[in-house]
Amino acid sequence: MAHYFDDVAHTFNEYLLVPGYSGASCSPDKVDLCTPLVRYTQGSEPALKLPIPLTSAVMQSVSDATMAISLAREGGLSFIYSSQPIEAEAEMIAQVKDYKAGFVVSDSNLSPHQTLEDVIRLKEESGHSTMPVTADGSQHGTLLGIVTSRDYRPSRTPLATRVAEFMTPREKLIVAPAETSLREANDIIWDHKLNALPILDDEDKLVYLVFRKDYDSHKQNPLENLDEHKRYRVGAGINTHDYLERVPALVEAGADLLCIDSSEGFTEWQQRVLTWIRSEYGDEVKVGAGNIVDRDGFRFLAEAGADFVKVGIGGGSICITREQKGIGRGQATSVIEVAQARNEYLAETGIYIPLCSDGGIVYDHHMTLALAMGADFLMLGRYFARFDESPTNKVTVNGNYMKEYWGEGSARALNWARYAQGKSRKLSFEEGVDSYVPYAGALKDNIGVTLTKIRSTMCNCGATAIPEFQEKAKLTLISSTSIVEGGAHDVMLKDQVNMLPPR
């Protein structure tokens, strides 16, 4: 006879936090959202931490190099999607790692033989006005000079004029060696009133550019997620099919953390991947696994060697696994039970394994609830898909700006490595949809508001750190009537009044 769970599976929307005592010293500006990313022994420090508990999902429509750089700048982490060729994913990882905080790998480069027409075209395509001139026109070629908007006037300079004739030549440039620190580079920029400083290696080849305008940017982002070399951290998705080739390539490219991307993680396949990684790399390579929704799934992956465990099946906004296959569980109930299993495992072994809540987040306050229930960090798809930095197109639908957003289980994603049914390497049916989400603008503007809400709510519960929040949080289930009561009700909103037809 089938096993029946005694309790109903609940979603985040069915819970509220009950405020606790908040002292005068408990204010949002004092809340520390730092959280562990990987397993560690109780009493020691984890090898990897997150300054903020937000990661972007392993999805084509969410996490590419641009998203990874932007999110790491704010303190989060992106997992580059694995439903692409190994070389392409490794290149995205390398792009992020090359984007050393404050040190920019130039993506607008010229050769001396190109013309002003090429300069204008490149400026229109990239939006950049500072363009290094290298011997071969590559981003790491021998530096011959620089072109900026001060070096030419389209109205006076013929479009056929060669770059070599109007660039600022190398001998007139102030440059710095590759071992220059960011602090030293900024000092040089300010001392010499520069807009950009080329960083060169011993062979006079261009390595990075440091820009004056980025100085204020870094001062405004104190939570940047950086490695020991001041490079942005980035995660990478892997699968259970080509991991023998994909993992070494991603590790070589510099991935800080791997994540097995699968709709269901309680499998021998994931155990094989974890066992192989441990045999080849020991504990040096960090890898998370999932997804699971109960204590049995957690225990399986914990004992298999997962560095973090991802919780959630069927709760994503573009996921239709539950209606297609009848598999899944309410996200709140899943997180609560798995967190209990995690704490039991800690008591038994002295090893803490972080939990990542993946799916079921509709509103910002759902993030806070997930943290209160025991999640250490969150993985978000729809939330990040709405921003300028996501890799999808911005389109107009019925007069409104939208961003494209599709699931990895959709036909559009062609992610056979995650969702293939059988040995045919094709989808017999879809477990995700192709959709639109409302365009929300820049990541920085939105994530700042979200984090302010989380910090404020934690203060309402008397906590200034996530572990303290989980210890002090008081949660209550609410009725459907309470959900209605929680929003605006029994009033006519002004924007609705403006839509009424004239009498």
* H or E segment to which residue 457 belongs: helix 443-460
**pLDDT of res. 109:** 95
Reported for 191-198, long-range contacts at CB under 8 A and 24+ positions apart, including other chains, are 195/130, 195/148, 196/130, 196/146, 196/148, 198/132, 198/143, 198/146, 198/173
Of 472, 428, 369, give the one whose Cα is nearest residue 16.
Answer: 369
pTM, to two decimals: 0.84
Q: What is the mean pLDDT of residues 140-146?
A: 96
Which residues make beta-bridge pairs with 17? 475
**pLDDT of res. 432:** 75
DSSP code, position 500: S
pLDDT tier, 188 (very low <50, low <70, confident <90, very high otherwise): very high
What pLDDT, in 10s, does the model give residues 281-336?
999 999 999 999 999 999 999 999 999 999 999 888 888 778 888 899 999 999 99
Other CB atoms within a 10 A radius of the CB of residue 28 amount to 16
**pLDDT of res. 78:** 98
**pLDDT of res. 321:** 79
Beta-carbon contacts of 171 under 8 Å, excluding residues fewer than 6 positions away, are: none
* H or E segment to which residue 496 belongs: helix 494-497
C-alpha 436/C-alpha 24 separation (Å) is: 44
E strands, 243-361, in order: 257-260, 287-292, 309-311, 351-352, 355-358
Q: Checking DSSP bridges between strand 434-438 and strand 143-147, what pairing results, if any?
A: unpaired
Beta-carbon contacts of 276 under 8 Å, excluding residues fewer than 6 positions away, are: 243, 244
Residue 496 has pLDDT above 60, yes or no: yes
What pLDDT, in 10s, does the model give residues 29-76?
999 999 999 999 999 999 999 999 999 999 999 999 999 999 999 999
Query: What mean pLDDT, rounded, does the chain reach?
Result: 92
pLDDT tier, 365 (very low <50, low <70, confident <90, very high otherwise): very high
**pLDDT of res. 441:** 95
**pLDDT of res. 317:** 82
Beta-carbon contacts of 260 under 8 Å, excluding residues fewer than 6 positions away, are: 237, 238, 239, 240, 270, 273, 274, 287, 288, 289, 290
DSSP assignment string, 326-351: -----HHHHHHHHHHHHHHHHHHHSE
**pLDDT of res. 100:** 72
Task: Decide: residue 326, CB within 10 A, 0-12 exposed, 13-18 middle, 19+ buried.
Answer: exposed
Q: Checking DSSP bridges between strand 131-134 and strand 143-147, what pairing results, if any?
A: antiparallel
**pLDDT of res. 490:** 80
**pLDDT of res. 500:** 64
What pLDDT, in 10s, does the model give residues 380-436?
999 999 999 999 999 999 999 999 998 887 778 677 676 655 555 666 677 778 889
Residue 214 has pLDDT above 90, yes or no: no
Check whether the bond before 291 is cis (ω within 30° of 0). yes
C-alpha 234/C-alpha 252 separation (Å) is: 13
**pLDDT of res. 474:** 98
164 vs 183, residue with greater confidence: 164
Active site residues: 319, 418
